[in-house]
Amino acid sequence: MSKDFKLSANQIRPLAKGRGGAIASDRITVDGRPVGYMYRTRPLNDIDSGWAFLAGDESDDYMAEVNNHAIYDVNTIANYDPEIIPLLDAPVGSAYVRTSSGLVPDPQGAPSE
C-alpha cells in the first residue's frame, strides 16, 4: 500500500538526528495532524527509541489496522511536529498529551508494557 505523506523526503531537515526509530500514526505522517499524545516505553533493541507518536484521536480499530502506522526515524516525526524535540530526552515511562498549552506531562504516564 502506497502512502501519500504530508512531507516529502526533501522537506525533512536534521532536527533530532541519532535518536533511533519510533512508531507513528498515519494521522501525523499522512494527515498532517500534530502529535497529540506521545509516550516512551523501554526500547526493544539498539535502534528503538521507545517513543510512540499519535495524533491522540486514533480509535482502537484504527490502531489495530497495521497499515495505519509505521516505524520512522524520530527525526522524521520531529519535522512533522518540532514541539516534540525538547521532550525527546524524557525517561522511559514518560508520556505527554496536547492541551491548549501545548504538550504537557500526562499524569498517567506511558501505557503498561
pLDDT digit string (tens) for the chain, length 113 residues:
689 999 999 999 999 999 999 999 999 999 999 999 999 999 999 999 999 999 999 999 999 999 999 999 999 999 999 999 999 999 999 999 999 999 999 988 888 76
Looking at the domain assignment, is residue 71 inside a domain? yes
Looking at the domain assignment, is residue 19 inside a domain? yes
Looking at the domain assignment, is residue 76 inside a domain? yes
Q: Give the tens place of pLDDT for each residue, 88-110.
A: 999 999 999 999 999 999 988 88
pTM of the entire predicted model? 0.95
**For residue 78, what are the domain limits?**
9-99
The count of structural domains within the chain is 1
Looking at the domain assignment, is residue 1 inside a domain? no
DSSP 31-81: T-PPP-EEEE---SSTTEEEEEEE-S---HHHHHSGGGEEEEEHHHHHHH-
How far apart, in Å, are the Cα atoms of 85 and each of 19, 59, 82?
Answer: 11, 26, 6
d(CA 77, CA 103): 15
